[in-house]
Amino acid sequence: MTRAVRLGAVNYLNVRPLVHGLEARPDLVTVRFDTPAECARLLSVGAIDLGMIPSIAYLDRPADRIVPGVCIGSDGAVASVALFSRKPLGDVRTIALDTSSRTSSMLVRILCARRFGIAPRFLPHAPDLSTMLASADAALLIGDPALFVDHRAHAAEKIDLGEAWTAMTGLPFVWAFWAGPPAPAVTAIVGLLQTAAEEGMANAEAIAVDYCGGDPMRSAVAAEYLRRCLAFHLTPRALEGLRVYYAEAAALGLVPRTVPPAFFEA
């Protein structure tokens, strides 16, 4: 009997539409949930076959393949990746970086250099806004902590990084996608993952309510986020945004090289 393909997904709301219904197919796939950075690590050590990896991590593994047509992306404001600052951006000298994702940390560095016009010192930090702002002028948070936090209670301004990227480039941003080593078993489930994404997008409201345990206020925020803020199709325009992101990172010396995305056969 063929072993089920081991999927590693991120432990945030934003991935739930992409794994919709997969629990009903244990014969084909298993799913575990971790931070984006941990997904990339698990893929690198062979603990999973396919990971929802931060888009920057693909440059570390250019022989991998990407599931076509599916991503966690945004075109404008994303709500779940943001800088929180108690100072005007021009006065920010230190930024605490959420250690959960390299992609967002790299984006902050690009935006500081290319859009915000600042050169702060970056401090890796666990994702807790109170302690981050106690040790730095501003803080990067990603995922659920950024989406659900009440930044006004922390007397902080929220600067949406998806919005800043699109304002700078006119393009979407690709935060993460399914990727892993080419293998017949993985190629065989590409269609399953594409179908799961389509069905998940069509069931955003129910996914939000289930994820938030029925809490009406959080469910409303979650549903609006899934419907309005995220783009789950890896379109040609999204791929152009990805290429520009890689080029910007390389131009600043943040990565040694760029590689063109390569895909599993659909």
Bridge partners of 84? 139, 158
Residues of the chain with pLDDT below 70 are 1
pTM: 0.95
| DSSP string covering 24-78 | G-TTTEEEEEE-HHHHHHHHHTTS-SEEEEEGGGGGG-TT-EE-TTEEEEESS--
- Residue 26 burial (C-beta neighbours within 10 Å; 0-12, 13-18, 19+): exposed
CB atoms within 10 A of CB 202: 12
- Residue 43 burial (C-beta neighbours within 10 Å; 0-12, 13-18, 19+): buried
Same fold, 5-68+173-226 and 81-169: yes
pLDDT in tens, 110-161: 999 999 999 999 999 999 999 999 999 999 999 999 999 999 999 999 999 9
Interatomic CA distance for residues 243 and 26, integer angstroms: 35
| Cα–Cα nearest to 179, from 55, 72, 266 | 55
Interatomic CA distance for residues 1 and 260, integer angstroms: 35
pLDDT for position 2: 74
Summary mean pLDDT of the chain: 95
pLDDT in tens, 24-39: 999 999 999 998 889 9
CB 157 within 8 A of CB 163: no
pLDDT for position 209: 95
pLDDT for position 93: 98
Interatomic CA distance for residues 146 and 158, integer angstroms: 9
pLDDT for position 16: 97
Domain residue spans of the chain: 5-68+173-226, 81-169
Interatomic CA distance for residues 116 and 188, integer angstroms: 44
Class of domain 81-169: alpha beta
**Residue labelled with tokens 């047509």:** 69
pLDDT for position 266: 74
Q: Which CATH architecture fits 5-68+173-226?
A: 3-Layer(aba) Sandwich (3.40)
